[in-house]
Amino acid sequence: MSAASTSPPSSPQTSYFGLEKNDRSQSSFHVVDPQTDMDDSAMKSYTQKRHELLETLNSLHSTGVQTELDLPQIVVIGSQSVGKSSLIESMSGIKLPRDTGTCTRCPTECRLQYGRSWTCTVTLRFHVDTEDKPLPEVREVEFGPKLTDKDEVEKILRRAQRAILRPSLDPSMFLDDRDLSTNGDPAQTFSQNCICIRISGPQVPDLYFYDLPGIIANIAEGGRDQDIKLVENLAEGFIKRSNCIILLVISCETDFENQGAGRLVMRDPELKKRTVGVLTKVDRIEAGSEDKWVDLLYGKENALANGWYCVKQPNPRELRGGMTWEDAKVAENAFFENNIPWMQLDSRLRRRLGSSRLAEKLSVMLSTLVSQKLPEIQTEISKQLRVVNDELIEVPPPDLSSVKPEVIRLLRGFDRKLTQLIEGLPANFANPSTAGIMYSINQVFDHFKHAVFATTPHFLPWSSQCEMDEELKKQLMKAATQFDPEGAWSLEDPKIYHLEEVMDVAVKSRTRELPGNYPFLAKKLLIIETILTWKSLASKCLDEVQELLDDHVKTVITDHFRNQALGGLRGAVLSVASEEIRRRFHSTLRQLDNLCESENTPYTQNTQYFFDYKSKLLGVYKDIYRCSRNEQAVVSCLRNFEKDMRPNDAGAQKVFDQITNALANLAPLGLGGLTAVDLAKLVPEDENATALDIMAEVRAYFQVAYKRFIDIIPQQIDENFVRGTDRDIDFALMSMDLSDEQCKAWLQEDPNIVQRRDDLTGKKKRLEAAKEKLGFVVRTSRLEVT
């Protein structure tokens, strides 16, 4: 045995076959010659480990887990009639069916291994249905008895392929050709299900590979146009996997460029890294054109990371003459030793001539790859098992033995989720960024608060006809709105009241009062006008919360009862919840209307806050009013007068002297205790004093009322609508029809859910079978998986 040497072992840190551990990340598969410096004991140990590795691979493939995992494998691809069957015959020692056109119509899994006597078993492996969807469980059927005669293999393989292509029939019908006279479903053109051939014998190499249908360029009689693409897609489905070693078969009888399989590989640099090329029909190379094929061996053309090999199989005349497998091997070696250009190749390339060298190369590559990937496969199996178990939890089968308790369990589970929703807890505690419904509701309440703020009345204690410069007007405006909510003046159309407008309301409200008296009605009218939109704002707030609650509850129902849509349980709960939300909405709306109606009657027990706020506002409004009439300078001088501090400014000294003289002149009248501040009180009020008082009182009451309103409306919505809905739905669910007949109907499952659970269950069984197989191999062999 020998293999192409690409690099010698550089350190003792190697795997079973000389592959350096730090090279395991490479996508191309390079190996060293396993016979280098090996004594008989080492070679025996090496061979035993290789047996075990390939047996492990066979066990994993038998579970069908290759539909979930990227298992190491060798795939033989080639165009139609390139000698692929002859190549496999030369490596396996068996005869394959030979027909014109495309013969191979399904993958053939070949497991070759050394044995003392020659035996062959054939098994049918069904892992996909007629629509190429994975079956829940892989079905393997032994096809016929164990064979000990090589001549029987061709006949049994013909029958096995017919059985694969007609999976609806009992496989035993094909063993005696009864299928040929049986009507039924027509045979498939091609299938992903495979024929498994297991061969052992004294001259059989350790090898494991898949033979795929040849890439076709033309449709045979009776074929379909889509067969060309179907076969190509089948090949691509195998070779796209990163752990697939590709054996590319190229015939020297036809130009490389005309062979579809070659184009399939050479157009992808990644595929070239894990492809071994093999040239067939080298005895049919046209004279004078040998160089272009030899250039492939040297890597000058269509270079592959793992190089090219050459084989020579028996021609049709030799086969008809009864040439044995052993004779074919001798003839192959003689051909390469005695014919130009093969006999002239250097020693490195001569190790790439012959089917035995190719088989050894592939065997070493595959077992090395398996050695690398076993730890990853074991980890991936465990990972996928965890995922599939989590997914199965989401689609539990209903307990149809006790339908009523099952429905009650579902309803109580939903009620717990609904309570969690109403409490505002995040839907996913593992992800704090997922906000609960209260986050959204609080945003609605915040918008409501700002909308109520926006109704703040803006009292300007000066006449709209008052002439003043813009700078003074800005100063007075700033002073007048210093107690308004932030952003209240940024509205498009704020409500503004000037002095004469307020006074006009007061005058028009008088009935039979004495002169100088104005009824409370004037203040009430201004208050009512201010809060006129509060009812619509409260209603809008409730509408937005209702929309949020409705959406969130529907989401919880859809998720919780996702498996009970077909039976109607999800729809029934959705109907109950929608009705209770609707009822609670209208009940809460009536309560909010009553609260808004009560606001039309001004009332408060918050007297201290009310009077304090009014007092501050009245002082501010009076100062602003005087400023607008240029009276504020006198008042300001009186309030800021200090008798012991005579100013330096001449103008200010004059005012200081006048105030001092006024106080001195009042002393002889017995008013010597007066101060300049007392004199400020002598500044006469005018007819607008009433308007200023109304402004201050209405604005102060608004401050009290909106603080109350922005609390009580959200509180009522939360308690009566949001929380109330939770209570009502809980009660309504327990009032549903829970008869056995109704519960049984409700638990009817959607076929898609059933199919999903079946798919997951099948996947779980395949993964568990693979895990058990791998565990058994590790326990009973000398392999180490770390």
pTM over the 0.75 mark:
no
Q: What is the rounded CA–CA span in Å between residue 683 and residue 319?
A: 134
Q: Which residues of the chain carry a pLDDT beneath 50?
A: 1-27, 31-36, 100-102, 432, 489-490, 786
What is the pLDDT, as a whole number, of residue 708? 94
Are 557 and 577 in contact, with CB atoms under 8 Å apart?
A: yes
Three-state secondary structure call for residue 275: strand
Are 16 and 46 in contact, with CB atoms under 8 Å apart?
A: yes
Q: What secondary structure does DSSP assign to 716-754, as a single string? A: HIIIIIIIHHHHHHHHHHTTS---HHHHHHHTPPPHHHH
Give the CA distances from residue 491 to residues 266, 452, 488, 635, 651, in Å, rounded to whole numbers and listed in that order.
70, 12, 6, 35, 44
The neighbour count for residue 436, using CB atoms within 10 Å, is: 16
The percent of the chain in helix, strand and coil, each rounded to the nearest 5, is: 55, 10, 35
Residue 471 sits at φ, ψ, to 5 deg, of -65, -45
Are 191 and 165 in contact, with CB atoms under 8 Å apart?
A: yes
Residue 79 sits at φ, ψ, to 5 deg, of -75, 170
Q: Which tens digits make up the pLDDT trace of 357-384?
A: 998 888 888 888 888 888 888 888 889 8
Are 216 and 152 in contact, with CB atoms under 8 Å apart?
A: no
Residue 711 sits at φ, ψ, to 5 deg, of -95, -45
Residue that is written with structure tokens 């089968």 in the block = 397
Are 781 and 405 in contact, with CB atoms under 8 Å apart?
A: no
| Furthest CA-CA distance within the chain | 157
Three-state secondary structure call for residue 488: helix
What is the pLDDT, as a whole number, of residue 279? 93
Which CB contacts under 8 angstroms, 24+ apart, belong to 473-481?
475/627, 476/624, 476/627, 476/628, 479/620, 479/623, 479/624, 480/620, 480/621, 480/624
Q: Which tens digits make up the pLDDT trace of 384-398?
A: 899 999 888 888 777
Beta bridge partners of 246: 75, 275
Q: What is the rounded CA–CA span in Å between residue 469 and residue 104?
A: 101
Beta bridge partners of 210: 75, 109
Burial class (CB in 10 A: 0-12, 13-18, 19+), 401: exposed
Three-state secondary structure call for residue 197: strand
Are 638 and 658 in contact, with CB atoms under 8 Å apart?
A: no
Which CB contacts under 8 angstroms, 24+ apart, belong to 701-704?
701/523, 701/527, 701/602, 701/604, 701/610, 702/456, 702/457, 702/527, 702/530, 702/531, 703/483, 703/609, 703/613, 704/604, 704/606, 704/609, 704/610, 704/613
The pair of three-digit structure tokens given for residue 776, joined into one six-digit string: 């058994």
For helices 632-639 and 650-666, give the axis angle rounded to 10 degrees. Answer: 70
Give the CA distances from residue 643 to residues 571, 648, 657, 712, in Å, rounded to whole numbers and listed in that order.
87, 14, 10, 54
CA 648 to chain centre: 80
Pairing mode, strands 207-211 and 108-114: antiparallel
Positive/negative CA dihedral, 148, 150, 152, 153: positive
Q: Could you tell me how many helices (H) and strands (E) the chain has, helices first?
A: 27, 11
Domain with CATH 1.20.120.1240 in the chain: 437-631+683-744
Q: Which of 180, 173, 112, 167 is nearest to 144 (CA)?
A: 173
What is the pLDDT, as a whole number, of residue 783? 53
Q: What is the rounded CA–CA span in Å between residue 210 and residue 107?
A: 6
What is the pLDDT, as a whole number, of residue 686? 65
Cβ contacts of residue 468 below 8 Å, gap of 6+?
462, 476, 628
Burial 160-185 (b: 16+ CB within 10 A, else e): bbbbbbbbebebebbbeeebeeeeee
Q: Which of 526, 675, 689 is nearest to 619 (CA)?
A: 689
Q: What is the rounded CA–CA span in Å between residue 311 and residue 329?
A: 10
What is the pLDDT, as a whole number, of residue 501? 84
What share of the chain has pLDDT > 90, as a percent? 23
Q: What is the rounded CA–CA span in Å between residue 214 and residue 261?
A: 8
Three-state secondary structure call for residue 302: coil
The neighbour count for residue 286, using CB atoms within 10 Å, is: 8
CATH number of the domain at 437-631+683-744, please?
1.20.120.1240
What is the pLDDT, as a whole number, of residue 275? 94
Are 491 and 635 in contact, with CB atoms under 8 Å apart?
A: no
Q: What is the rounded CA–CA span in Å between residue 773 and residue 429?
A: 38
Q: What secondary structure does DSSP assign to 216-269, as a single string? A: -SSPPTT--TTHHHHHHHHHHHHHTSTTEEEEEEEETTS-GGG-HHHHHHHT-H
What is the pLDDT, as a whole number, of residue 634? 60
Three-state secondary structure call for residue 519: coil
What is the pLDDT, as a whole number, of residue 494? 65
The answer, yes or no, to whether the previous bond of 602 is cis (omega within 30 of 0) is no
